[in-house]
Structure 1
Amino acid sequence: MNPSRTSPNDRAHHRPPSRLLWAFGLLSAVLLCLIPSVGTASAHGSVVDPASRNYGCWLRWGSDFQNPAMAQLDPMCWQAWQANPNAMWNWNGLYRDGSAGNFQAVIPNGQLCSGGRTEGGRYNSLDTPGAWKTTNVSKDFTVKLYDQAVHGADYFLVYVSRQGFDPTKQALTWNDLQLVKRTARYAPSQNYEIPVTTSGYSGRHVVYTIWQASHMDQTYFLCSDVNFT
Protein backbone atom coordinates (compact mmCIF):
# COMPACT_ATOMS: atom_id res chain seq x y z
CA MET A 1 0.00 0.00 0.00
CA ASN A 2 1.24 3.49 -0.81
CA PRO A 3 2.09 5.15 2.53
CA SER A 4 1.07 8.59 1.29
CA ARG A 5 -2.55 9.54 1.86
CA THR A 6 -2.89 10.61 -1.77
CA SER A 7 -1.08 9.08 -4.72
CA PRO A 8 1.24 11.41 -6.62
CA ASN A 9 0.34 9.54 -9.79
CA ASP A 10 -3.40 10.09 -9.72
CA ARG A 11 -4.69 11.56 -12.96
CA ALA A 12 -8.14 12.73 -13.92
CA HIS A 13 -9.87 10.64 -16.56
CA HIS A 14 -11.16 13.67 -18.46
CA ARG A 15 -9.69 17.13 -19.03
CA PRO A 16 -11.91 20.17 -18.50
CA PRO A 17 -12.79 22.08 -21.66
CA SER A 18 -9.91 24.31 -22.75
CA ARG A 19 -11.90 27.52 -22.21
CA LEU A 20 -12.16 26.65 -18.52
CA LEU A 21 -8.48 25.91 -17.91
CA TRP A 22 -7.46 29.46 -17.07
CA ALA A 23 -10.31 29.93 -14.59
CA PHE A 24 -9.68 26.51 -13.06
CA GLY A 25 -5.99 27.30 -12.56
CA LEU A 26 -6.76 30.64 -10.94
CA LEU A 27 -9.24 29.07 -8.53
CA SER A 28 -6.74 26.36 -7.59
CA ALA A 29 -4.06 28.93 -6.83
CA VAL A 30 -6.44 30.87 -4.57
CA LEU A 31 -7.45 27.73 -2.69
CA LEU A 32 -3.83 26.71 -2.13
CA CYS A 33 -3.18 30.08 -0.52
CA LEU A 34 -6.11 29.60 1.85
CA ILE A 35 -5.57 25.99 2.92
CA PRO A 36 -3.12 25.49 5.82
CA SER A 37 -0.21 23.08 5.50
CA VAL A 38 -1.67 19.79 6.73
CA GLY A 39 -0.42 17.37 4.11
CA THR A 40 2.93 16.18 2.82
CA ALA A 41 4.20 19.36 1.24
CA SER A 42 6.70 17.73 -1.09
CA ALA A 43 7.30 14.24 -2.35
CA HIS A 44 10.50 12.71 -0.99
CA GLY A 45 10.63 9.67 1.31
CA SER A 46 11.51 7.99 4.59
CA VAL A 47 12.14 4.68 6.30
CA VAL A 48 8.75 3.06 6.80
CA ASP A 49 9.88 -0.19 8.47
CA PRO A 50 11.12 0.00 11.14
CA ALA A 51 9.24 3.28 11.05
CA SER A 52 11.19 6.51 11.45
CA ARG A 53 10.13 8.55 14.45
CA ASN A 54 8.00 11.07 12.62
CA TYR A 55 6.56 8.57 10.13
CA GLY A 56 5.51 6.37 13.05
CA CYS A 57 3.80 9.32 14.73
CA TRP A 58 1.99 10.18 11.50
CA LEU A 59 1.00 6.56 10.96
CA ARG A 60 -0.46 6.16 14.44
CA TRP A 61 -1.99 9.60 14.95
CA GLY A 62 -2.31 11.36 11.61
CA SER A 63 -6.07 10.86 11.56
CA ASP A 64 -6.46 11.66 15.28
CA PHE A 65 -3.63 14.06 16.06
CA GLN A 66 -5.67 16.25 18.42
CA ASN A 67 -6.63 13.36 20.70
CA PRO A 68 -5.45 14.25 24.24
CA ALA A 69 -5.08 10.54 24.99
CA MET A 70 -1.87 10.63 22.96
CA ALA A 71 -0.16 12.35 25.90
CA GLN A 72 -0.47 9.17 27.97
CA LEU A 73 -0.49 6.51 25.24
CA ASP A 74 2.34 7.86 23.11
CA PRO A 75 4.06 10.73 24.97
CA MET A 76 7.00 11.15 22.59
CA CYS A 77 4.67 11.57 19.64
CA TRP A 78 2.58 13.93 21.76
CA GLN A 79 5.53 16.24 22.42
CA ALA A 80 6.44 16.09 18.72
CA TRP A 81 2.94 17.02 17.57
CA GLN A 82 2.84 19.89 20.06
CA ALA A 83 6.24 21.19 18.97
CA ASN A 84 5.57 21.20 15.22
CA PRO A 85 2.79 19.19 13.53
CA ASN A 86 4.50 19.67 10.16
CA ALA A 87 7.28 17.35 11.30
CA MET A 88 4.71 14.57 10.94
CA TRP A 89 2.69 15.89 8.00
CA ASN A 90 6.02 16.25 6.19
CA TRP A 91 7.38 12.91 7.34
CA ASN A 92 9.07 12.52 3.94
CA GLY A 93 11.05 15.77 4.00
CA LEU A 94 13.77 15.25 6.62
CA TYR A 95 16.83 15.96 4.50
CA ARG A 96 19.73 18.35 3.98
CA ASP A 97 21.21 19.56 0.72
CA GLY A 98 24.92 19.97 0.05
CA SER A 99 26.45 17.78 2.77
CA ALA A 100 29.07 16.46 0.31
CA GLY A 101 29.27 13.23 2.32
CA ASN A 102 30.80 15.03 5.31
CA PHE A 103 27.91 14.28 7.62
CA GLN A 104 29.66 14.64 10.97
CA ALA A 105 30.76 18.15 10.00
CA VAL A 106 27.24 19.38 9.20
CA ILE A 107 25.27 17.54 11.90
CA PRO A 108 26.35 18.15 15.52
CA ASN A 109 26.08 15.52 18.21
CA GLY A 110 22.63 15.46 19.77
CA GLN A 111 21.01 16.62 16.52
CA LEU A 112 21.23 13.46 14.44
CA CYS A 113 17.53 12.63 14.39
CA SER A 114 16.60 16.13 13.18
CA GLY A 115 19.25 16.14 10.46
CA GLY A 116 21.11 18.92 12.25
CA ARG A 117 17.95 20.92 12.90
CA THR A 118 17.25 21.01 9.21
CA GLU A 119 14.31 22.74 7.53
CA GLY A 120 14.37 25.67 9.94
CA GLY A 121 14.10 23.42 12.99
CA ARG A 122 10.91 21.66 11.88
CA TYR A 123 12.17 18.27 13.12
CA ASN A 124 13.91 19.33 16.35
CA SER A 125 11.48 17.35 18.52
CA LEU A 126 12.81 14.11 17.03
CA ASP A 127 16.09 14.61 18.91
CA THR A 128 14.31 14.51 22.27
CA PRO A 129 15.31 11.47 24.38
CA GLY A 130 12.43 9.38 25.65
CA ALA A 131 10.42 6.22 25.31
CA TRP A 132 9.67 6.40 21.59
CA LYS A 133 7.53 3.53 20.36
CA THR A 134 9.71 0.68 19.11
CA THR A 135 9.49 -1.95 16.38
CA ASN A 136 10.56 -5.47 17.33
CA VAL A 137 13.37 -6.80 15.14
CA SER A 138 15.63 -9.85 15.14
CA LYS A 139 19.40 -9.76 14.71
CA ASP A 140 18.79 -10.03 10.95
CA PHE A 141 16.22 -7.54 9.73
CA THR A 142 15.32 -5.49 6.67
CA VAL A 143 15.15 -1.71 6.45
CA LYS A 144 12.36 -0.72 4.09
CA LEU A 145 12.38 2.77 2.62
CA TYR A 146 9.68 4.47 0.59
CA ASP A 147 10.94 6.88 -2.08
CA GLN A 148 7.84 8.74 -3.16
CA ALA A 149 9.73 10.97 -5.60
CA VAL A 150 11.77 8.11 -7.15
CA HIS A 151 15.11 9.77 -6.42
CA GLY A 152 17.20 6.60 -6.37
CA ALA A 153 20.15 6.18 -4.03
CA ASP A 154 23.89 6.54 -4.46
CA TYR A 155 24.09 4.46 -1.28
CA PHE A 156 22.51 3.78 2.09
CA LEU A 157 24.34 3.70 5.41
CA VAL A 158 22.64 1.83 8.25
CA TYR A 159 23.89 2.21 11.80
CA VAL A 160 22.75 0.71 15.10
CA SER A 161 23.34 2.44 18.41
CA ARG A 162 25.92 0.70 20.56
CA GLN A 163 24.91 -1.72 23.29
CA GLY A 164 24.43 0.25 26.51
CA PHE A 165 23.26 3.46 24.87
CA ASP A 166 19.91 4.49 26.36
CA PRO A 167 17.79 6.55 23.91
CA THR A 168 15.22 7.15 26.63
CA LYS A 169 17.77 9.30 28.49
CA GLN A 170 20.43 10.28 25.95
CA ALA A 171 20.37 12.22 22.69
CA LEU A 172 22.10 10.35 19.89
CA THR A 173 25.72 11.20 19.03
CA TRP A 174 28.03 9.95 16.30
CA ASN A 175 30.11 8.05 18.86
CA ASP A 176 26.99 6.10 19.81
CA LEU A 177 26.64 4.60 16.31
CA GLN A 178 28.06 1.42 14.82
CA LEU A 179 27.93 0.96 11.05
CA VAL A 180 26.27 -2.33 10.13
CA LYS A 181 25.54 -1.83 6.42
CA ARG A 182 26.78 0.22 3.48
CA THR A 183 25.06 -0.48 0.19
CA ALA A 184 25.87 0.03 -3.44
CA ARG A 185 23.76 2.21 -5.72
CA TYR A 186 20.00 1.62 -5.97
CA ALA A 187 18.23 2.36 -9.24
CA PRO A 188 15.30 4.80 -8.95
CA SER A 189 12.19 3.13 -7.57
CA GLN A 190 9.58 3.82 -4.92
CA ASN A 191 10.50 0.97 -2.60
CA TYR A 192 13.90 -0.17 -1.40
CA GLU A 193 14.80 -3.05 0.89
CA ILE A 194 18.12 -3.13 2.72
CA PRO A 195 18.94 -6.45 4.41
CA VAL A 196 20.94 -6.00 7.61
CA THR A 197 22.83 -8.62 9.62
CA THR A 198 23.90 -7.87 13.19
CA SER A 199 25.06 -9.65 16.31
CA GLY A 200 25.35 -8.83 19.98
CA TYR A 201 22.43 -6.41 20.23
CA SER A 202 19.56 -6.80 22.67
CA GLY A 203 16.86 -4.53 23.98
CA ARG A 204 16.15 -0.96 22.87
CA HIS A 205 18.29 0.65 20.16
CA VAL A 206 18.16 3.32 17.48
CA VAL A 207 18.60 2.34 13.85
CA TYR A 208 20.04 5.35 12.02
CA THR A 209 19.66 5.32 8.25
CA ILE A 210 21.45 7.74 5.95
CA TRP A 211 20.05 7.86 2.43
CA GLN A 212 22.18 9.64 -0.14
CA ALA A 213 19.77 10.40 -2.97
CA SER A 214 20.98 10.17 -6.56
CA HIS A 215 19.19 13.10 -8.19
CA MET A 216 21.35 15.71 -6.40
CA ASP A 217 23.47 16.08 -3.26
CA GLN A 218 20.46 15.52 -1.00
CA THR A 219 20.79 13.37 2.12
CA TYR A 220 18.13 12.00 4.46
CA PHE A 221 18.86 11.29 8.15
CA LEU A 222 16.33 8.94 9.72
CA CYS A 223 16.02 7.60 13.28
CA SER A 224 14.00 4.44 13.88
CA ASP A 225 13.50 3.01 17.35
CA VAL A 226 13.74 -0.77 17.63
CA ASN A 227 13.76 -3.52 20.20
CA PHE A 228 16.05 -6.46 19.46
CA THR A 229 14.22 -9.58 20.57
Structure 2
Amino acid sequence: MPAKLSVNLNAIAMLRNRRDLPWPSVTGLGRIAMAAGASGLTVHPRPDQRHVRFSDLAPIRALLDDEFPGAEFNMEGFPDEGFLSLVEAAQPDQVTLVPDDPTQATSDHGWDFEASRSVLETVVSRLKKGGFRVSLFSDGDASEDGLRIAREVGADRIELYTGPYGGCYDDPSEAARIVEQLGRTADFAAGLGLDVNAGHDLTVDNLPALAARIPALAEVSIGHALTAEALEYGMAEAVKRFRKACGQAV
Protein backbone atom coordinates (compact mmCIF):
# COMPACT_ATOMS: atom_id res chain seq x y z
CA MET A 1 0.00 0.00 0.00
CA PRO A 2 1.45 3.42 -0.91
CA ALA A 3 2.54 5.76 1.85
CA LYS A 4 -0.10 8.10 3.22
CA LEU A 5 0.43 11.84 2.82
CA SER A 6 0.14 14.11 5.84
CA VAL A 7 0.29 17.81 4.99
CA ASN A 8 2.36 19.86 7.43
CA LEU A 9 0.67 23.24 7.97
CA ASN A 10 3.59 25.04 9.63
CA ALA A 11 4.80 26.88 6.51
CA ILE A 12 1.29 28.16 5.86
CA ALA A 13 1.03 29.35 9.45
CA MET A 14 4.43 31.06 9.24
CA LEU A 15 3.27 33.01 6.18
CA ARG A 16 0.06 34.03 7.96
CA ASN A 17 2.02 35.15 11.01
CA ARG A 18 3.86 37.83 9.00
CA ARG A 19 0.78 39.98 9.53
CA ASP A 20 -1.75 40.29 12.32
CA LEU A 21 -4.42 39.00 9.93
CA PRO A 22 -6.24 35.67 9.55
CA TRP A 23 -4.98 34.81 6.08
CA PRO A 24 -3.78 32.64 4.56
CA SER A 25 -6.15 30.49 6.59
CA VAL A 26 -4.46 27.47 8.16
CA THR A 27 -7.73 25.57 8.44
CA GLY A 28 -8.93 26.79 5.05
CA LEU A 29 -5.89 25.44 3.24
CA GLY A 30 -5.98 22.34 5.41
CA ARG A 31 -9.54 21.77 4.18
CA ILE A 32 -8.43 22.10 0.55
CA ALA A 33 -5.58 19.65 1.13
CA MET A 34 -7.89 17.11 2.70
CA ALA A 35 -10.49 17.47 -0.05
CA ALA A 36 -7.71 16.79 -2.58
CA GLY A 37 -6.97 13.44 -0.94
CA ALA A 38 -4.43 14.05 1.81
CA SER A 39 -4.66 11.46 4.56
CA GLY A 40 -4.10 13.85 7.42
CA LEU A 41 -2.62 17.08 8.74
CA THR A 42 0.58 17.66 10.71
CA VAL A 43 1.58 20.55 12.96
CA HIS A 44 4.67 21.34 15.02
CA PRO A 45 3.59 23.91 17.64
CA ARG A 46 6.86 25.43 18.88
CA PRO A 47 6.96 27.27 22.22
CA ASP A 48 7.36 30.70 20.58
CA GLN A 49 4.38 30.00 18.25
CA ARG A 50 6.31 31.30 15.26
CA HIS A 51 4.61 28.69 13.10
CA VAL A 52 1.35 27.04 14.15
CA ARG A 53 -0.16 28.80 17.13
CA PHE A 54 -1.64 27.01 20.10
CA SER A 55 -4.98 28.56 19.17
CA ASP A 56 -4.86 26.72 15.81
CA LEU A 57 -4.95 23.27 17.37
CA ALA A 58 -8.61 23.01 18.36
CA PRO A 59 -9.89 24.30 14.97
CA ILE A 60 -7.68 21.80 13.11
CA ARG A 61 -8.94 18.98 15.31
CA ALA A 62 -12.52 20.11 14.72
CA LEU A 63 -11.97 20.36 10.96
CA LEU A 64 -10.87 16.74 10.77
CA ASP A 65 -13.54 15.48 13.16
CA ASP A 66 -16.40 17.34 11.50
CA GLU A 67 -15.51 17.15 7.80
CA PHE A 68 -12.98 14.35 7.33
CA PRO A 69 -13.73 11.58 9.82
CA GLY A 70 -11.08 8.92 9.71
CA ALA A 71 -8.32 11.37 8.74
CA GLU A 72 -5.37 11.69 11.08
CA PHE A 73 -3.99 14.59 13.09
CA ASN A 74 -0.25 14.36 13.79
CA MET A 75 1.44 16.64 16.33
CA GLU A 76 5.22 16.96 16.40
CA GLY A 77 7.29 18.47 19.17
CA PHE A 78 9.89 18.26 21.88
CA PRO A 79 8.33 16.40 24.83
CA ASP A 80 8.44 19.04 27.52
CA GLU A 81 5.45 19.56 29.79
CA GLY A 82 4.10 22.38 27.64
CA PHE A 83 3.98 20.24 24.53
CA LEU A 84 2.54 17.24 26.33
CA SER A 85 -0.23 19.40 27.75
CA LEU A 86 -1.06 20.64 24.24
CA VAL A 87 -1.19 17.04 23.02
CA GLU A 88 -3.51 15.98 25.80
CA ALA A 89 -5.83 18.90 25.05
CA ALA A 90 -5.83 18.52 21.25
CA GLN A 91 -6.03 14.70 21.18
CA PRO A 92 -4.09 13.99 17.96
CA ASP A 93 -4.06 10.52 16.49
CA GLN A 94 -0.27 10.41 16.37
CA VAL A 95 2.43 12.15 18.39
CA THR A 96 5.87 12.48 16.81
CA LEU A 97 8.56 13.26 19.36
CA VAL A 98 11.54 15.27 18.12
CA PRO A 99 14.73 16.24 19.99
CA ASP A 100 14.56 19.91 19.00
CA ASP A 101 15.98 22.76 20.97
CA PRO A 102 13.21 25.40 21.18
CA THR A 103 15.41 27.91 19.31
CA GLN A 104 16.00 25.67 16.27
CA ALA A 105 14.68 26.94 12.96
CA THR A 106 13.55 23.43 12.04
CA SER A 107 14.14 19.81 13.00
CA ASP A 108 17.60 18.72 11.87
CA HIS A 109 18.47 15.47 13.65
CA GLY A 110 16.96 12.41 15.23
CA TRP A 111 17.09 11.17 18.81
CA ASP A 112 20.19 9.81 20.44
CA PHE A 113 18.15 6.86 21.66
CA GLU A 114 20.71 5.57 24.13
CA ALA A 115 21.34 8.92 25.81
CA SER A 116 17.62 9.78 25.86
CA ARG A 117 16.31 6.40 26.88
CA SER A 118 15.12 7.39 30.35
CA VAL A 119 13.28 10.48 29.12
CA LEU A 120 11.68 8.61 26.25
CA GLU A 121 10.55 5.73 28.46
CA THR A 122 8.70 8.13 30.74
CA VAL A 123 7.14 10.21 27.96
CA VAL A 124 6.17 7.32 25.70
CA SER A 125 4.55 5.53 28.63
CA ARG A 126 2.49 8.61 29.44
CA LEU A 127 1.39 9.04 25.83
CA LYS A 128 0.54 5.38 25.36
CA LYS A 129 -1.62 5.48 28.49
CA GLY A 130 -3.44 8.38 26.82
CA GLY A 131 -4.15 6.23 23.78
CA PHE A 132 -1.81 7.99 21.36
CA ARG A 133 0.27 6.35 18.65
CA VAL A 134 3.88 7.41 19.21
CA SER A 135 6.54 7.98 16.56
CA LEU A 136 10.14 8.91 17.34
CA PHE A 137 12.23 11.08 15.02
CA SER A 138 15.24 9.07 13.89
CA ASP A 139 18.38 9.74 11.93
CA GLY A 140 18.48 7.89 8.64
CA ASP A 141 21.63 6.07 9.74
CA ALA A 142 20.47 5.25 13.26
CA SER A 143 22.31 2.34 14.84
CA GLU A 144 20.68 -1.03 15.30
CA ASP A 145 21.09 -0.68 19.06
CA GLY A 146 19.36 2.69 18.94
CA LEU A 147 16.42 1.30 16.99
CA ARG A 148 16.12 -1.55 19.47
CA ILE A 149 15.85 1.04 22.24
CA ALA A 150 13.15 2.89 20.30
CA ARG A 151 11.18 -0.33 20.25
CA GLU A 152 11.91 -1.16 23.88
CA VAL A 153 10.68 2.21 25.17
CA GLY A 154 7.32 1.50 23.53
CA ALA A 155 7.32 3.51 20.30
CA ASP A 156 4.98 2.36 17.55
CA ARG A 157 6.90 4.03 14.72
CA ILE A 158 9.99 5.94 13.81
CA GLU A 159 10.05 8.89 11.44
CA LEU A 160 13.17 8.90 9.31
CA TYR A 161 14.77 12.33 9.08
CA THR A 162 15.26 12.82 5.34
CA GLY A 163 16.90 16.25 5.39
CA PRO A 164 20.28 15.02 4.10
CA TYR A 165 18.48 13.22 1.27
CA GLY A 166 16.62 16.37 0.28
CA GLY A 167 19.82 18.38 0.56
CA CYS A 168 21.60 16.44 -2.20
CA TYR A 169 19.04 17.33 -4.87
CA ASP A 170 21.90 18.23 -7.23
CA ASP A 171 24.02 15.13 -6.55
CA PRO A 172 22.33 11.96 -7.89
CA SER A 173 25.04 9.58 -6.72
CA GLU A 174 24.90 10.90 -3.18
CA ALA A 175 21.10 10.80 -3.24
CA ALA A 176 21.23 7.14 -4.26
CA ARG A 177 23.65 6.37 -1.43
CA ILE A 178 21.48 8.09 1.16
CA VAL A 179 18.25 6.52 -0.02
CA GLU A 180 19.87 3.10 0.32
CA GLN A 181 20.98 3.97 3.86
CA LEU A 182 17.44 5.09 4.69
CA GLY A 183 16.17 1.84 3.24
CA ARG A 184 18.49 -0.28 5.38
CA THR A 185 17.44 1.61 8.49
CA ALA A 186 13.78 1.15 7.58
CA ASP A 187 14.32 -2.56 6.93
CA PHE A 188 15.87 -3.07 10.34
CA ALA A 189 13.18 -1.04 12.10
CA ALA A 190 10.46 -3.01 10.36
CA GLY A 191 12.11 -6.23 11.45
CA LEU A 192 11.74 -5.03 15.05
CA GLY A 193 8.04 -4.41 14.54
CA LEU A 194 8.30 -0.64 14.12
CA ASP A 195 6.31 1.05 11.36
CA VAL A 196 8.24 3.68 9.42
CA ASN A 197 7.31 7.25 8.53
CA ALA A 198 9.54 9.80 6.81
CA GLY A 199 9.78 13.53 6.51
CA HIS A 200 11.87 16.64 5.83
CA ASP A 201 12.71 18.16 2.46
CA LEU A 202 10.87 15.50 0.49
CA THR A 203 9.76 16.64 -2.97
CA VAL A 204 7.79 15.29 -5.90
CA ASP A 205 11.15 14.56 -7.52
CA ASN A 206 12.89 12.65 -4.72
CA LEU A 207 9.90 10.96 -3.10
CA PRO A 208 9.38 8.20 -5.72
CA ALA A 209 12.86 6.72 -5.18
CA LEU A 210 12.36 6.68 -1.42
CA ALA A 211 8.93 5.07 -1.74
CA ALA A 212 10.34 2.46 -4.11
CA ARG A 213 13.17 1.58 -1.71
CA ILE A 214 10.82 1.45 1.31
CA PRO A 215 7.62 -0.10 -0.08
CA ALA A 216 6.17 -0.47 3.42
CA LEU A 217 6.58 3.26 4.16
CA ALA A 218 3.54 4.14 6.24
CA GLU A 219 3.39 7.93 6.01
CA VAL A 220 5.25 10.97 4.77
CA SER A 221 4.80 14.35 6.41
CA ILE A 222 5.53 17.21 4.03
CA GLY A 223 5.24 20.96 4.52
CA HIS A 224 7.92 23.18 2.99
CA ALA A 225 8.10 21.65 -0.48
CA LEU A 226 4.35 21.08 -0.66
CA THR A 227 3.67 24.70 0.27
CA ALA A 228 6.18 25.81 -2.38
CA GLU A 229 4.35 23.66 -4.94
CA ALA A 230 1.04 25.14 -3.81
CA LEU A 231 2.31 28.63 -4.63
CA GLU A 232 2.85 27.47 -8.20
CA TYR A 233 0.06 24.95 -8.75
CA GLY A 234 -2.46 25.64 -6.01
CA MET A 235 -2.93 23.54 -2.89
CA ALA A 236 -5.25 20.94 -4.39
CA GLU A 237 -2.97 20.23 -7.34
CA ALA A 238 0.12 20.20 -5.09
CA VAL A 239 -1.48 17.53 -2.93
CA LYS A 240 -2.33 15.47 -6.00
CA ARG A 241 1.26 15.75 -7.26
CA PHE A 242 2.62 14.51 -3.93
CA ARG A 243 0.09 11.71 -3.73
CA LYS A 244 1.20 10.56 -7.17
CA ALA A 245 4.84 10.75 -6.03
CA CYS A 246 3.90 8.46 -3.11
CA GLY A 247 2.55 5.93 -5.62
CA GLN A 248 -1.12 6.64 -4.90
CA ALA A 249 -3.70 6.51 -7.64
CA VAL A 250 -4.85 10.05 -8.39
Taking structure 2 as the reference length, the TM-score comes to 0.27
More strand by share: 1
Compare the two structures and name the one with the higher helix fraction: 2
Specify the structure having the higher radius of gyration (Cα): 1
**TM-score relative to the length of structure 1:** 0.28
